[in-house]
């Protein structure tokens, strides 16, 4: 089997809040589904991410609570790690920006590109709040976007047009902490010479066949409209990685650059923990190695421009992004998720509302905003679980397996197919499997999940038409053929479900008597068994959400009362910094 080396990553969550469902589908869950798929295909995968814990947001929060920043991030990091476990996220290494390997790595990396002439010192105008007496980080200044006129643009980026900004570009700037007008002071800072790499980035993006259109278009339009300007790389705050450049001792590295390099340092740390220190370079510098990034669309500039530019600036043959899967936004019942207005569901709450990780994983993948913004609706959640997973998929699986168990003592035999319905459905299974594979390799996860539902639906139609229960007396051979094809379809479904709903898939494969520690598919799922093959006693893998719960979830008033109760209970379990 030809396999390759992959580093799969998800954007590093900033550690000052619990991720909500939109964050989850935009990064960690999508990356997990992709990593699980690759492993199943026999690829050599390292799946990494970590907590982004530096920067002024945490520094200000810590000052307010009168604790040290690291005390804050210790407790929230621990809590978030526990949540990844509950959501079955299969990280090989989930680390944090405070780990020593990372800090050392960032300093060395930055010095290298400094020596290569890609960093220089410039004067920069920095907003300073006279009332709060601090230099304000970019996102602590808000005002009107100079490009599109959007009122609530932040000093680092406009949420409306997606452009990266500098705070002094904002019209009518104000401090988000106290509302006063900041003073702009001249400070010396170190800049990354993005401008020197403009041509290389444009060339790379243009020639890159696997990049999604939204990523390509954004990057090209950025370069064509404003060009790539030098970007400041250091900050005046204390909580971060000390800047390594001569004369910059009182500065830290801007969190964004810090977190981006975490993809590399987390791989390095992973192999160091295994006692194979040098091996990480094979995943980042070998010519055949591949990297995949799962991010929200607001992160495109950092992953499609700044990260590849940093890698290019080293002069070493680092692997540039193979896949950048940037999702659009998930809305919540037609509104934007908002912590301050309590609009949305957060990932710890979700499991208290409906305690089934697979149901959440499945529903989120089904609503993954791949091409346009999508909307989380409770009615859709109920439909995905009750109609799709239970009626279409689960029901088909259970029907086939109980028939095999009832008529043939659980034994599936080889078959010589001649009937057109059998041949046609068997061909359909193969087509679905092939399309699924190619969509998954391109990280089109929602599109691939569509095929799972279709296979379940078509499977039920096939069984209805063949009606094996009516033929068992007159034509045993035909029933054998039907259940042979049905078995192939069920096995294929069980395998296709694995990346999305790993626990349920494991149950299906157990019933199918496929007992491998780690399922690896060479060509087709059917290769996992040798006919004749005996299955175990079937049982229902999925169950519907109870009607009493559905009634609550679909009634706006009842649901809000229920969610409020769950939230109040949960708030006590959260570390203080993560409470609402």
- Comparison of 55 and 459: residue with beta carbon closer to Zn ion: 55
Q: How far is the CB of 145 from Zn ion (least distance, A)?
A: 3
Stretch that binds Zn ion, among 52-60, 149-157, 334-342, 532-540 (CB under 5 A): 149-157
Among 44, 71, 85, 148, binds Zn ion (CB under 5 A): 148
Q: How far is the CB of 137 from Zn ion (least distance, A)?
A: 12
Cis peptide before 532 (omega within 30 of 0): yes
For residue 171, give both structure tokens.
């019209």
Does 132 bind Zn ion (CB under 5 A)? Our answer is yes
- CA separation for the pair 351, 573 (Å, rounded): 14
Among 44, 151, 152, 178, binds Zn ion (CB under 5 A): 178
Backbone angles phi, psi at 63, to 5 degrees: -65, -40
Q: How far is the CB of 140 from Zn ion (least distance, A)?
A: 8
Continuous segment of H or E residues that includes residue 229: none
Does 131 bind Zn ion (CB under 5 A)? Our answer is yes
Does 134 bind Zn ion (CB under 5 A)? Our answer is no
Angle of CA points 151, 301, 211, to nearest 5°: 130
- Comparison of 176 and 417: residue with beta carbon closer to Zn ion: 176
Stretch that binds Zn ion, among 20-28, 63-71, 178-186, 245-253 (CB under 5 A): 178-186
Q: How far is the CB of 149 from Zn ion (least distance, A)?
A: 7
Stretch that binds Zn ion, among 141-149, 216-224, 254-262, 517-525 (CB under 5 A): 141-149
Does 171 bind Zn ion (CB under 5 A)? Our answer is no
Stretch that binds Zn ion, among 70-78, 142-150, 305-313, 557-565 (CB under 5 A): 142-150
- Comparison of 18 and 129: residue with beta carbon closer to Zn ion: 129
Q: How far is the CB of 544 from Zn ion (least distance, A)?
A: 45
Residue of 86, 167, 14 whose CA lies nearest to 352? 86
Q: How far is the CB of 239 from Zn ion (least distance, A)?
A: 18
Does 25 bind Zn ion (CB under 5 A)? Our answer is no
Contacts of 141 (CB under 8 A, 6+ apart): 127, 154, 155, 167, 170, 173, 174, 175, 176, 182
- Comparison of 161 and 476: residue with beta carbon closer to Zn ion: 161
- Count CA atoms closer than 13 A to 190's CA, side-chain side: 25
Does 150 bind Zn ion (CB under 5 A)? Our answer is yes
Counting residues that bind Zn ion (by CB under 5 A) gives: 13
Residue of 363, 339, 365 whose CA lies nearest to 351? 363
- Comparison of 160 and 375: residue with beta carbon closer to Zn ion: 160
Does 161 bind Zn ion (CB under 5 A)? Our answer is yes
**Helices 445-466 and 395-408, interaxial angle, to 10°?**
40
E strands, 130-247, are 134-135, 141-144, 153-154, 171-175, 183-192, 231-232, 234-235
Beta strand pairing status for 44-51 and 5-10?
parallel
Pick out residues in 71-130 that bind Zn ion (CB under 5 A): 129
| Cα pseudo-dihedral 197, 199, 200, 202, rounded to 10 | 120
Q: How far is the CB of 218 from Zn ion (least distance, A)?
A: 13
Residue of 194, 202, 13 whose CA lies nearest to 96? 13
Residue 168, number of CB atoms within 10 A of its CB: 16
- CA separation for the pair 35, 38 (Å, rounded): 5
Among 18, 110, 119, 145, binds Zn ion (CB under 5 A): 145
Does 70 bind Zn ion (CB under 5 A)? Our answer is no
Residue of 400, 350, 397, 326 whose CA lies nearest to 563? 350
Among 60, 80, 113, 158, binds Zn ion (CB under 5 A): 158
- Comparison of 82 and 131: residue with beta carbon closer to Zn ion: 131
- Comparison of 106 and 129: residue with beta carbon closer to Zn ion: 129
Chain residues in the site for Zn ion (CB under 5 A): 129, 131-132, 145, 147-148, 150, 158, 160-161, 175, 177-178
């Amino acid at each position: 089997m030809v396999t390759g080396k992959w580093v799969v990553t998800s954007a590093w969550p900033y550690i000052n809040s619990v991720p909500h469902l939109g964050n989850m589908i935009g990064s960690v869950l999508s990356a997990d589904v992709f990593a699980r798929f690759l492993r199943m295909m026999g690829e050599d995968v390292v799946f990494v991410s970590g907590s982004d814990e530096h920067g002024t947001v945490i520094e200000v929060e810590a000052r307010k609570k009168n604790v040290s920043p690291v005390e804050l991030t210790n407790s929230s990091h621990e809590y978030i790690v526990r949540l990844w476990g509950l959501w079955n996220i299969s990280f090989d290494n989930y680390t944090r920006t405070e780990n020593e390997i990372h800090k050392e790595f960032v300093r060395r990396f930055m010095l290298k590109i400094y020596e290569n002439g890609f960093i220089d010192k410039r004067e920069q105008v920095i907003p300073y709040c006279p009332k709060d007496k601090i230099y304000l980080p970019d996102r602590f200044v808000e005002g009107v976007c100079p490009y599109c006129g959007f009122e609530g643009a932040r000093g680092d980026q406009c949420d409306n047009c997606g452009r990266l900004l500098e705070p002094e570009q904002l019209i009518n700037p104000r401090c988000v902490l106290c509302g006063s007008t900041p003073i702009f002071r001249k400070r010396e800072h170190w800049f990354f010479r993005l401008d020197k790499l403009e041509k290389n980035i444009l060339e790379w993006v243009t020639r890159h066949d696997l990049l999604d259109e939204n990523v390509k278009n954004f990057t090209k339009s950025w370069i064509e409209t404003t060009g790539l300007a030098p970007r400041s790389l250091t900050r005046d705050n204390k909580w971060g990685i000390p800047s390594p450049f001569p004369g910059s001792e009182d500065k830290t590295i801007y969190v964004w650059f810090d977190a981006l390099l975490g993809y590399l340092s987390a791989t390095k740390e992973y192999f160091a923990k295994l006692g194979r220190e040098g091996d990480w370079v094979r995943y980042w510098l070998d010519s055949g190695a591949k990297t995949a990034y799962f991010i929200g669309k607001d992160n495109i500039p950092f992953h499609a421009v700044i990260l590849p530019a940093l890698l290019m600036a080293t002069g070493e043959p680092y692997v540039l992004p193979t896949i950048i899967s940037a999702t659009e936004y998930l809305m919540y019942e037609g509104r934007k998720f908002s912590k301050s207005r309590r609009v949305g569901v957060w990932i710890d709450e979700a499991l208290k509302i409906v305690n089934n990780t697979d149901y959440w994983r499945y529903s989120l993948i089904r609503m993954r905003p791949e091409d346009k913004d999508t909307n989380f609706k409770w009615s859709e959640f109920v439909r995905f679980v009750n109609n799709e997973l239970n009626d279409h998929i689960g029901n088909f699986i259970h029907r086939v397996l109980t028939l095999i168990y009832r008529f043939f003592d659980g034994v599936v035999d080889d078959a010589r197919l001649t009937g057109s319905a059998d041949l046609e459905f068997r061909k359909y299974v193969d087509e679905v499997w092939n399309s699924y594979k190619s969509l998954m390799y391109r990280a089109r996860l929602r599109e691939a999940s569509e095929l799972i539902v279709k296979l379940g639906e078509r499977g039920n139609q096939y069984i209805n038409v063949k009606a094996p229960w009516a033929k068992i007396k007159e034509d045993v051979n035909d029933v054998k053929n039907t259940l042979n094809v049905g078995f192939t379809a069920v096995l294929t479904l069980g395998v296709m479900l694995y990346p999305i709903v790993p626990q349920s898939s494991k149950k299906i494969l157990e019933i199918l008597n496929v007992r491998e520690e780690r399922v690896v598919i060479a060509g087709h799922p059917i290769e996992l068994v040798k006919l004749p093959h005996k299955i175990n006693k079937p049982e229902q893998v999925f169950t519907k959400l109870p009607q009493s719960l559905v009634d609550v979830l679909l009634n706006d008033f009842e649901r809000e009362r229920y969610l409020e109760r769950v939230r109040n209970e949960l708030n006590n379990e959260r570390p203080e910094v993560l409470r609402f």
